[in-house]
Amino acid sequence: AGVDDFLTRLPKVELHLHIEGTLEPELMFALAERNGVELPYADVEAARAAYDFSDLQSFLDLYFLGMSVLITARDFHDLAMDYFRRAAAEGVVHVEMHVDPQAHLARGVSLDTVMQGLISASRVARDELDLSTAMILAFLRDQPVEDALKVLEQAGPWLEHFSAVGLDSAEQGNPPSLFREVFARAGQLGLARVAHAGEEGPPSYIREALDELDVCRIDHGVRAVEDVELLERLSDEGVVLTVCPLSNVRLKVVDHLEQHSLPRMIDAGLNITLNSDDPAYFGGGMRDNFAACQRAFGWSDETMRWLASNAIEAAFMDESRRDALR
Ligand code: HPA
Ligand code: ZN
C-alpha cells in the first residue's frame, strides 16, 4: 500500500490492542540480547514461523513467552515507542492499550517498572507523533479473582493513568460473572469497564459482561450472531463492539475472513469498530485490518469512514481531542 492511500490517510482510532502483543520478533530478539534472556527460537524468521495458531490458548502460550524479554522500564518504553511509530505511520491517531500487569508481576517485574516505561512512551507519542493514548488495566480471567483484586489495589498510585479495566486471556470456562466484585470496585474508583466476551466463549458471556460487569464496550463479541435476541439488545443499546478481524482469522474463530460475521453484525445495526488486538502476532496493524475487510466484503470508502468514526465516538478521550478528530 502507498503511504498516501485513502485507508492510510483515514484517521484511525484503535480501541482493542494489547501492548504486549505489539512486540515484533526483531525487538524481541534485541531485548533478549540486552537482558540475557534465552528464546526458544533460532531467529526472527523461526519466531514468525511459530506463529501458526490453532486457537486462543495456542496464541496465549507464545504471547506470554514473548513478553519474558520485557524486564526494565526502558524495555516497556521501547516496546510502546516501536509500536506507536508504526501505528502513526499507518494513520492511527489514538491508541487504547490493554496492559496485563499480572503477567509481569508473576515474573518479578513490578507495576512501577511497567508503568514508568509506558507512561514515558505515551508522552513522547503525544509530543512527537500527535498520537493520543489511553490505558486499560486488564485482568487475566484464568487467574484467581483474588489476584485481580490485589492488582487493582496495587494500581492505586497509577490509577489516574488508566481509563478503564478490562478482562482478557483464556475465555472458555472463565465467565465474566466471576469478576463481578472486581469490576464493581473499579467502578467505585471511577474507572470505565470493558471485557473480552464472545471471542471463543458463548453469547451468554456477552450478556453477563453487560449485566454483571456493567461494561460500556465488548471486546470481540463476534459470537453474538448466534443469538438473535442478543443482537437486538446490542443494537438497541448501541453497545460498542471492538472487533479484530485478522485476529479472528489467525486464532481460527473463523476459517476465512470472507466467512466472518462482520457484514451480518453491521446489518443487525451493531456499533462496530475495527481493531488489531495483537498486531505482532496476527500479521497486521490497523491499516491492514481495514484493508483486508474492505477487500473481503467489498465495503465502500463511506463504510470505512463510518467504522473509523464509531471508534472516535467510543474512545476514552477528552472532548477537545474528540472534536479535533471528528
Ligand atoms: N483474547 C484474549 N486475551 C488476549 C487476547 C485475545 O485476543 N490477546 C491478548 N490477550
Ligand atoms: Zn484482545
Give this complex's ipTM. 0.96
Identify residue 174 by its one-letter amino acid code. Answer: N
Question: Is any atom of ligand 1 closer than 6 Å to the C-beta of 208?
Answer: no
Written as tens digits, the pLDDT of the chain (326 aa) is 666 799 999 999 999 999 999 999 999 999 999 999 999 999 999 999 999 999 999 999 999 999 999 999 999 999 999 999 999 999 999 999 999 999 999 999 999 999 999 999 999 999 999 999 999 999 999 999 999 999 999 999 999 999 999 999 999 999 999 999 999 999 999 999 999 999 999 999 999 999 999 999 999 999 999 999 999 999 999 999 999 999 999 999 999 999 999 999 999 999 999 999 999 999 999 999 999 999 999 999 999 999 999 999 999 999 999 999 99
What number does the ligand 1 atom closest to the CA of 21 have? 9
Task: Please name which of 316, 326, 321 lies closest in space to residue 98, comparing C-alpha atoms.
Answer: 316
Rg of the chain in Å (alpha carbons): 18
Known binder of ligand: residue 18?
yes
Tell me which ligand sits closest to the C-alpha of residue 171: 1
Is 90 an active-site residue? no
Known binder of ligand: residue 196?
yes
Question: Is any atom of ligand 1 closer than 6 Å to the C-beta of 223?
Answer: no
The conformation of residue 180, written as its DSSP 8-state character, comes to H
Name the pTM for this structure: 0.98
- CA 114, CA 109: separation in Å to the nearest integer? 8
Residue ranges covered by each domain of the chain: 6-320
Known binder of ligand: residue 277?
yes
Tell me the backbone φ, ψ of residue 72, rounded to 5 degrees: -105, 165
3-class DSSP assignment, residue 16 = strand
Is the distance from CB of 79 to CB of 30 less than 8 angstroms? no
CATH number of 6-320: 3.20.20.140
CA 242 / ligand 1 centre spacing (Å): 12
Centre a 10 Å sphere on the Cβ of residue 181 and count the other Cβ atoms it contains. Answer: 11
Ion ligand 2 neighbours (CB, 5 A) are 277
Task: Please name which of 72, 51, 78, 54 lies closest in space to residue 62, comparing C-alpha atoms.
Answer: 51
CA 201 / ligand 2 centre spacing (Å): 13
Cα 17 off chain centre by? 2
- CA 148, CA 166: separation in Å to the nearest integer? 11
